[in-house]
Chains A and B, each alone.
Chain A
Amino acid sequence: MTFQTPPAVEVRNLAKHYGDFVALKNVNVTIAAGEYFVLLGPSGGGKTTLLRTIGGFQKPTSGDVFLHGKSVGHLPPDKRPTTMVFQAYALFPHMNVTQNVGYGLKVAGLPKAQIADKVAHALDQVGLTKFAQRKPHELSGGQQQRVQLARAIVLDRDILLLDEPLAALDAQLRKDMCLELKHLQEKVGITFIHVTHNQEEAMTVADRIALIANGDLVEVGRARDIYRAPEKSFTASFVGENNVLKGKVSDANGVSVTVDVAGAKLQVAKRDLPVSTGQNVTLSIRSECVALETVNDSNAPTDGLSMLGAYDESVYLGLTTSHLVRLPDGTEMVSRIIADADDTLPVNGAPVRLRWKPTDIRLHVE
């Protein structure tokens, strides 16, 4: 991605250590103005540390943060062009909704009439006009988060940081709020940087996703690419429901590679990856791309795009059903199918064949 103007956020070689614990390891990331960027990853991976460092709530051990091309590593949060929405407990309990939303404008010294106008507009944007006089404890969790949003957008800053803003909400409210957030970002047009460990939430809102784990920025890409074509095996294992298979390359000459996995020889596109014969590699196939069929013989397939295994069990998930199959080496594979009829399920231990298309399997070399 190239930028005509300086990017909204640029993080260069950022590291953060807490004594011996390394929270971030030389992270580099660039976020364009007006982008909805999501930091996704498991708990304790370093995504909140990165967000808080961008916001000035933590000093990096090394590296720098640039906002609109200017280094801000030395500036406190109130001197940065950012504002933040917190996970919870961040509303001022002694102030009502109007006072909470108008607080930043009051600090900035705006006239009262202008504050009132801006607060009314912000509350209208988040649909809380009729709750203006309520105290935070008189609001539901979702309403409280909307007040936080209003308090942030009313400041007209161009970078909004969201630290797990929906984590404290129930599942349905989280879904609704996800869409609200996305629409709000499109309406106000500023840069949103959103931290979450919930991939569905990330997929819903993100223009781009950065996957962060163990202090490393594992992979950055569009939500669709991260899901459908993960570069790294960690991405494959974390995003979606992927079957991750370990194997050894038996032939690497040509545009595809042959990998030995649990007694089967699988074909996978090489994608110009540096791979050689005898190398240990990882393959990933999304579970919804794996078709399941019963077989009568136990001869290993030779098409390079299927494997034999023993049917283990099915897990009904509502919209889909996951079928678990055990490979000869004990590895478990999942085939996820949109169907809830369970009267034709194979019996436990029955031989089955797992099959996929050539474009569904991906090679990972790390």
Chain B
Amino acid sequence: MNEYENPWFHGLKWAYLLLVVLTLMAPVLYVMYISFNANGFGANEYVFTLEWYGLIFSDELLIGALRWTLMLAIVVTLVAVPMALLAAKYYKAADNKLFPVFLLLAPLFVPPDILGSALLVSFKNLNAVFIWIGDGLGTSMFDSWFRLSFLTATIGLIIYTIPYSFVVILITMGRYRKEQTEAARACGASGWRAFWDIEFPQIRAGVFSASAFTVILVFNEYTRTSLLKGGFDTFTTVLISQMLNTGMSPQSYAMSAMISFVAIAAIGGIIILTLIRAEALARIARGKAEPVMS
């Protein structure tokens, strides 16, 4: 049997792909479905409504948590991605690659509870040391430097996200040839100019992917955030505490669904734009009909 001409094989491949996507997306789709039910989760009767979406912005707990989460995501991304980029550049240039890669990836292999607890203890001790130094100097200036706060949560999340960013950026850097940087230097570009003009455009996709990944990781992260955050809540900590105590509110379903919509629209938009751009480039290339000869 000619497998290439059998329509069943083609259909089967698509069916399998669809099944995988549906399996992955089913929980999200269910949350979206619930978010439009006027009677909320578990009700016998489904009545379509947009009410919960209207009430999201009146739920101060959720909006506050979302604000803190966004701030954390922005700060962590702005710090972790450039650090990961620098680390990846160092790694590429290093002769002995084993030690730096071990150091950078080590946080991935420490369970989140242990890493979070270790950081909690470290910050508490550090805070005590700084208070002691401040007392010695007769000032209270250092008292709150390492008290559990936005700063400690940020540090914890940076440690958590850097390995992921490092790996994502390193993968895109794998195709980059250092001869191009040297060629730019030979053309008179400084080290920074060579990076910005020549290397960055070629690894930009990796840097943007690492940024997107970092934002998602910060949104997802519960254990380290809840241990290190101090007196504020993030979106995930609110959702989990609601589920553990009272169950998710209809506004929480709406908020979760809305974030999913935004994420899917953003990623889908990027994919569609990339496909359109690739097709446009291919059309330009085809337009240069003259054969390539030496």
Contact = CB atoms under 8 A, between A and B. Distances in A.
Interface of A: 55-57, 76-78, 82-84, 86-94, 103-104, 107-108, 130, 133-134, 138-143, 148, 151-152, 155, 161, 173
B198 A92 contact: yes
Interface stretch (B1-9, B187-195, B228-236, B266-274): B187-195
Nearest to B204: A94
B189 A84 contact: no
Q: Which 5 A-B pairs give the minimum distances between C-beta atoms?
A: A104-B187, A84-B186, A90-B183, A77-B185, A89-B177
Contact of B183 (A86, A138, A142): A86
Contact of B179 (A56, A90, A151, A173): A90
B193 A84 contact: no
Contact of A89 (B179, B189, B193, B197): B179
B292 A139 contact: yes
B293 A140 contact: yes
Contacts of A142: 294
B186 A134 contact: no
B285 interface: yes
B139 interface: no
Contacts of B185: 56-57, 76-78
A94 B198 CA distance: 8
A73 B290 CA distance: 47
Nearest to A176: B294
B182 A57 contact: yes
Listed residue (A89, A133, A139, A140) with the most chain B CB atoms within 10 angstroms of its CB: A89
A95 B198 CA distance: 9
B184 interface: yes
Nearest to B183: A90
Contacts of B293: 140
Contacts of B179: 86-90
Contacts of A93: 180, 202
B183 A92 contact: yes
Nearest to A80: B186
Interface string B157-181: 0000000000000000000010110
18 contacts: A76-B191, A77-B182, A77-B186, A78-B190, A83-B187, A84-B182, A84-B183, A84-B186, A87-B179, A89-B180, A90-B179, A90-B180, A91-B180, A92-B197, A103-B187, A104-B188, A140-B294, A151-B187
B274 to A, nearest CB: 15
Nearest to A104: B187
Given A90-B183, A138-B292, 20 more contacts: A56-B185, A76-B191, A77-B182, A78-B185, A78-B188, A83-B186, A84-B183, A86-B179, A87-B179, A88-B179, A89-B180, A91-B180, A92-B197, A92-B198, A103-B189, A107-B193, A133-B288, A139-B292, A143-B294, A151-B183
